């Protein structure tokens, strides 16, 4: 949900063709533009709470040598400064809209949007999850948002976390 809202806000404010990289990164021209971290806090008897952190490289003009080949900013890609306030406003509006749809049970819309905003499906990927490496074809997301990875033996694995190493 946060990824879809972030990509939508970036595209609305800059027209930059940002793409989602499972599970929590946003790429632009193959480089990391943004990252999203979510933490669920569930206390006995209470409704679970999710804290979402979103970091977007907006107006950077360069990065340290050790990450300059893998990181980018909207300014570096578009040549224009991005108005932080306008982007934040757009992001909040998109988050609100996606959350309302989620509460109304429109999860299939969220999965559809996530799929449309990613370019990884149908491609061979390598995923590291808890020290285990798996390579296969990224088939799509299931209704719960888990990555469907089909390995060469034809088996489909559902992954809810991990690091996408190759794509």
Closest to 35 (Cα-Cα) out of 26, 43, 45? 26
Residues comprising the chain, all counted: 167
Closest to 146 (Cα-Cα) out of 103, 115, 109, 106? 115
Mean pLDDT of all residues in 139-143: 93
Considering the four listed CATH numbers 3.30.930.10, 3.40.50.10210, 3.40.50.300, 3.30.70.100, the one that applies to the domain covering 2-116 is 3.30.930.10
pLDDT digits (tens, 9 = 90+) for 27-86: 999 999 999 999 999 888 888 899 999 999 999 999 999 999 999 999 999 999 999 999
pLDDT digits (tens, 9 = 90+) for 101-125: 999 999 999 999 999 999 899 999 9
- What's the pLDDT score for residue 166? 62
User: How far is it, in rounded angstroms, from Cα 141 to Cα 148?
Assistant: 6
Domain boundaries defined on the chain: 2-116, 124-166
Cβ contact 74:83 at 8 Å: no
Cβ contact 111:143 at 8 Å: yes
- What's the pLDDT score for residue 167? 58
- What's the pLDDT score for residue 82? 96
- What's the pLDDT score for residue 164? 87
Which stretch of 56-60, 94-98, 127-131 has the lowest confidence by average pLDDT? 127-131
Angle subtended by helix axes 2-14 and 84-103, to nearest 10: 140
Q: What are phi and psi of 129, to 5 degrees?
A: -140, 115
Considering the four listed CATH numbers 3.40.50.300, 2.40.37.10, 2.30.30.100, 3.40.640.10, the one that applies to the domain covering 124-166 is 2.30.30.100
Note whether 2-116 and 124-166 share their fold.
no
- What's the pLDDT score for residue 165? 81
Closest to 117 (Cα-Cα) out of 137, 98, 89? 98
């Amino acid at each position: 949900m946060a990824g879809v809202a972030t990509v939508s806000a970036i595209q609305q404010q800059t027209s930059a063709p940002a793409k989602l990289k499972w599970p929590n990164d946003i790429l632009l021209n193959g480089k990391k533009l943004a990252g999203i971290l979510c933490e669920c806090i569930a206390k006995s008897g209470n409704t679970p709470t999710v804290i979402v952190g979103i970091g977007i490289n907006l107006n950077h003009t360069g990065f340290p040598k050790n990450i300059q080949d893998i990181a980018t900013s909207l300014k570096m890609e578009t040549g224009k400064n991005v108005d932080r306030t306008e982007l934040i406003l757009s992001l909040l509006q998109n988050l609100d809209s996606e959350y309302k749809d989620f509460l109304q049970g429109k999860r299939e819309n969220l999965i559809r949007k996530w799929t449309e905003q990613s370019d990884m499906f149908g491609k061979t990927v390598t995923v590291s999850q808890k020290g285990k490496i798996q390579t296969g074809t990224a088939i799509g997301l299931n209704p719960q948002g888990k990555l469907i990875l089909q390995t060469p033996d034809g088996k489909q694995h559902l992954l809810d976390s991990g690091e996408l190493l190759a794509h």
